[in-house]
Structure 1
Amino acid sequence: MFVDFEQMPAHAKVWVYQANRTLDKKTQKVILDNLKNFIEDWDAHGKTLKGSAILLYNLFLILAVDEEHNLASGCSIDKSVHYLKDLGTHLDIDFFDRSKQAFVQNGGIVLENFRNLKTHISAGMIEKETLTFNNAVTTVGEMKSDWQVPAGESWLAKYFQN
């Protein structure tokens, strides 16, 4: 059962998928239309899941499920992962590329390769205050409060130590 993302409670489980490229409006519509259909039929051992999906910043796909309605099982989670991999293959998007970190810079979102982060921090291109994304958040509530954080308060903090 698909519901609007704004109707998902704070305790709803989320998975944050970062695309490997910026998504244009046409591609976003295709993704959301496909995910709405997927979520309408999404179940865990025959029990309907109450879920939602949203695209943010033309880059992040957030998939959510309200586990107070029914628990997502390992099989249902695997089904969503396989669906996203297949959809990504069809649209030439990789939602599973973990080699880049996103930052808010110059009014937009910039993807930086992990191997360049230390150099960019040392050069002052990424500062402690530069907003980044914690894609490891697990609930809607955490996403709203702890998804965007200053780099100096993220896992990158170790690179700002002198």
Structure 2
Amino acid sequence: MLGKPLIAAEVSEIQQKLDAFTAQWQAHGKQLNAKGEIYHNFFIVLTVDQETAPATGCSIDASVRFIKDVESNFGVDLFDRFNMAYKLDDEVHVVTKEDFETLIAIKKITPKTIVFNNLVQTLEEFEQKWEVPLEDSWHKMVFAEQLSA
């Protein structure tokens, strides 16, 4: 997840790199049935059909190297786990954990606010549980104190 949205030219360039990467992405010499997509100009999502050929340690390492390369080439931070993303009026916002807590405290973010559950593991989870109300996500436990204030 990015701290700032990508502009159209960056999305296009990164998508081309994603397509090239997934076209040659392998695990132990077997081509992975994979794709990469950019969502909301903030999120890069890689998916792999684990039944065709599963991702392994080396292929996962290759994906991390690829994402780190994107980070350095585009001046973005994709691995900052303290960035929190949410939707307000159908627009995605990304803030620090501290700012997220403040927004909860001042009721700008509520239990009904849509957040992004980046812990999803499968395509089905991604499709059903990635964008969810805060009250239905792990965010509810982490920010319980702020939500109850």
Give the alignment's TM-score, normalised by structure 1. 0.85
SS at structure 1 position matched to 2:119? coil
Matches within 5 A, 1:70-81: 70-81=53-64
SS at structure 1 position matched to 2:45? strand
Q: Deviations over 1:105-133 (max 9, x none)?
A: 13311112101222221211111111100
User: What is the distance in 2 between the residues matched to 1:48 and 1:119?
Assistant: 46
Matches within 5 A, 1:46-65: 46-65=29-48
Instruction: Kindly tell me the number of residue pairs found equivalent between the two proteins.
Output: 145
User: What is the distance in 1 between the residues matched to 2:59 and 2:84?
Assistant: 27
Q: Give yes or no for contact 1:44–1:76 (8 Å, CA) kept in 2.
A: yes
Equivalent residue in structure 2 for 1:120, among 75, 94, 103: 103
Which residue of the partner structure matches residue 154 of structure 1?
137
User: What is the distance in 2 between the residues matched to 1:141 and 1:59?
Assistant: 20
Q: Does 1:20 align with 2:3?
A: yes
> CA RMSD for the aligned pairs?
1.2
Which residue of the partner structure matches residue 5 of structure 1?
none
Moved more, 55-64 or 98-107: 98-107
Q: Give yes or no for contact 2:18–2:37 (8 Å, CA) kept in 1.
A: no
Q: Give yes or no for contact 2:3–2:95 (8 Å, CA) kept in 1.
A: no
SS at structure 1 position matched to 2:5? coil
Task: Quote the offset at 1:87 in angstroms.
Answer: 1.9
Matches within 5 A, 1:138-149: 138-149=121-132
User: What is the distance in 1 between the residues matched to 2:102 and 2:7?
Assistant: 30
Q: Give yes or no for contact 1:131–1:151 (8 Å, CA) kept in 2.
A: yes
Moved more, 45-54 or 92-101: 92-101
Higher relative contact order (CA 8 A, sep 6+): 1
Equivalent AA in structure 1 for residue 21 of structure 2: F
Q: Deviations over 1:130-161 (max 9, x none)?
A: 11000010111101110111112222322323
Q: Which runs of 5+ in 2 are unaligned?
A: none
Q: Give yes or no for contact 1:152–1:160 (8 Å, CA) kept in 2.
A: no
Q: Deviations over 1:35-79 (max 9, x none)?
A: 111111111111111100111111111100001111111010001
Give the alignment's TM-score, normalised by structure 2. 0.92
